[in-house]
Amino acid sequence: MIALVLAAFQLAAAMPVRPAPVADRIGPARAAIGSDGHPHLQGDTPAVVVVDAGHGGVDNGMSGPIGATHKIYEKNITLQVALKLGRALQARGVKVVYTRTTDTLINLYDRGPIANRAHGNLFISIHVNASNPKWKDAATARGFETYFLSEAKTEDARRVEAMENSAARFDSGSPVSKGDPLSFILSDMQQNEHLRESMKLAETVQDQLGAVEPGPDRGVQQAAFVVLETAFMPAVLVEIGFGTNPQEAAFISNPRSQTKLAGAIADAAVDYLNAYRAGVNGVADRVAGRHQ
């Protein structure tokens, strides 16, 4: 059993995953655009998006910007953007479950199970990036990036992975799965089922954010985030900007920019859900769409 599991795991790990060419990427279907100019969920089947505001409570997440006396804290920005994202999704016809709606600490290992219990169709975790203080001109790094769960491929992805996973030090209790290699492999396999879907969702989020975030677009990235590992559904982690950069810290703290960022991520999620449904349900769904 273990050998079989390992073989299947190695096979899944060996599959190359590359971002799709821009032409193949998901765009909004014309039929799905509502009178508000945003895509709306198509079909009668409800969809649940789990919105995860990174950090919270004693875990402030990153603080910035570098050299400033007035500091912003990641946990506050992620909560504001997550609440706005939830409202934007609801306005587009999607049900929303939050992992937190107040300044409270939710264990990193508990966030995926919350999403699984809610039978979420998608999991979106919101975070704020921080440059490495050892970098030359550390305050100048900026831009947005979206991660899906896989092995970290670059030094930069490993930096973000280590930074976000370090929040586990605030976790209370020890979940059964933590540190157990077999359960890690099993959970990794379950998540692997959703690898390509998560990557597509990440691409769609990046494409939509590009329209509202001054940038630069740092692209779709992959890393082994604990928070994504335990959510058995397409799942992404969005780093909406660098809180260490003064201009970007001001941008992501501004309520109007937060509304734009949340709206772009909501549009991406709905575009993704509509495209996924059209692909899975095929003709029946498309015919139903024509009669709406």
Chain residues in the site for Zn ion (CB under 5 A): 54, 61, 127, 164
Nearer to Zn ion, 42 or 131 (CB): 131
What crossing angle do the helices spanning 246-253 and 255-290 adopt, rounded to 10°? Answer: 60
**Tokens standing for 250?**
């001001």
Q: Which is nearer to Zn ion, 56 or 61 (CB)?
A: 61
Q: How far is the CB of 136 from Zn ion (least distance, A)?
A: 23
List, in order, residues 6 or more apart from 157 with CB less than 8 Å away.
Answer: 147, 221, 222, 223
- Amino acid letter for position 61: G
Residues 6+ apart with CB under 8 A from 273: 41, 47, 94, 121, 122
Could you give the angle at the alpha carbon of 229 between the alpha carbons of 225 and 230, nearest 5°? 135
Q: Which residue is nearest to Zn ion (CB)?
A: 127
* CB of 127 or CB of 218, closer to Zn ion: 127
Q: Which is nearer to Zn ion, 207 or 239 (CB)?
A: 239
Residue 112 C-beta: closest distance to Zn ion, Å: 15
**Nearest residue (CB) to Zn ion, 164 versus 188:** 164
Give me the half-sphere count of Cα atoms (radius 13 Å) on the Cβ side of residue 49: 29
Contacts of 137 (CB under 8 A, 6+ apart): none
> Which CB, 55 or 84, lies closer to Zn ion?
55
